[in-house]
Amino acid sequence: MCYESCHSRESGNPEISKTLDPRFREDDKNVRENMNFDQQRFNDFLLTHNVVGFFEKPMTLKSGRQSCWYVNWRNVSNDVVLLDQLTDFVIAFAHSKRLQFDGFYGVPEGATKLGILTNYKWAMAQSDCVPGKYVLSMGRAKPKEHGALQDKYFIGVPKGKVIVLEDVTTTGGSLLETLESLAQVEVEVVAAIGLTNRMQKRDDGKSVEEALVKKGITYFAMSRATDFLPEAMKRFHPSQEIVKSLQQEFAEIGVKPCNFNIEMAAGSVCRAASSDAGNEASIPGRLKRRQKSGV
């Protein structure tokens, strides 16, 4: 495993040691050994690795909606060590829900790598992992136009009881499409797990969880926006205008309204701006550069 290979070389290679966050090396070990999911540790993981952030001006999300805040797991999924740690969180979370399953499958393309690596690591740890027992499945982002139905959506059809993984759920559109493609080849889905639920209603007024329950699928979220956004505001100091925009957003389409502490956030901005006086890396500057980078 990545954790073991990196740590076996860590003491002899200072360059490798630099790439590993010391706070999460011990966390990663705890997750692996105890298989206990720690909600606070996971929320800290996503905030520390820039999964959550704010825009000065509303940006169009994948769902088509506009918002001043984003959740993007790309930085984690593109990093070998962080993705390795993330899969351990996922496996621990699945076990914490007492789910009985035979493998994981990631929604293409956002959770493709997560699904493949999580499924591989979990299967290899099983005592009955022998040739022909477990399938390493991958979904096609664009359906194949010819060939058997099994090859239309998949490169290796999932087998047995499957947990479907998604990175971020807003309206649940991609997740629902994936569930439909799995149903066409009669795959049994025991649950859907999202890394982050933005906790917003769909256009039909239902939450993602309600929409999936209607399809007979149980949905679990490893993190919820209403839980980690207050801490994100303390760390990243969004402007008062952004905080007001978020409150309005949750009042209109949130699963439940959220009353963020505007005065506290604004005060944090003032203190941060004061400490950064004369420094190009001011809070608004960082937000603007993040927006230009397309994150």
The string of pLDDT tens digits covering residues 14-58 is: 333 333 334 344 444 444 445 689 999 999 999 999 999 999 888
**Are 49 and 86 within 8 A, CB to CB?**
no
Q: What is the CATH number that goes with domain 73-223?
A: 3.40.50.2020
pLDDT of residue 263: 56
Buried b (16+ CB within 10 A) or exposed e, 190-214: bbbbbbbbbbbbbeeebbbbebbee
Q: What are the structural domain ranges in the chain? A: 1-34, 73-223
Complete edge-to-edge strand list for the sheet that includes strand 219-221: 103-106, 161-169, 188-197, 219-221
Q: pLDDT below 70 — which residues of the chain?
A: 1-35, 261-295
pLDDT at 147: 76
Specify which residues 240 forms β-bridges with. none
166-194 confidence digits (pLDDT tens) = 999 999 999 999 999 999 999 999 999 99
C-alpha–C-alpha distance, residues 114 and 194, integer Å? 11
**Which among 131, 221, 129 is positioned nearest to 169, based on CA atoms?**
221
Q: Is 190 left (phi over 0), alpha (psi -120 to 50) or beta?
A: alpha
* Angle formed by the axes of helices 262-275 and 283-292, nearest 10°: 100
Instruction: Name the one residue in this structure whose structure tokens are 């209403």.
Output: 226
Tell me if 138 sits within 8 A of 166, measured CB to CB.
no
Residue 54 pLDDT: 94
Residue 274: per-residue pLDDT: 31
CA distance 215 to 212: 5
Q: Which residues of 239-265 are buried (b: 16+ CB within 10 A; e: fewer)?
A: beebbbbbbebbeebbbeebebebeeb
Using alpha carbons only, give the angle 221, 227, 228 rounded to the nearest 5 degrees: 100
Where b means 16+ CB within 10 Å and e means fewer, 18-30 reads eebbeebbebbeb
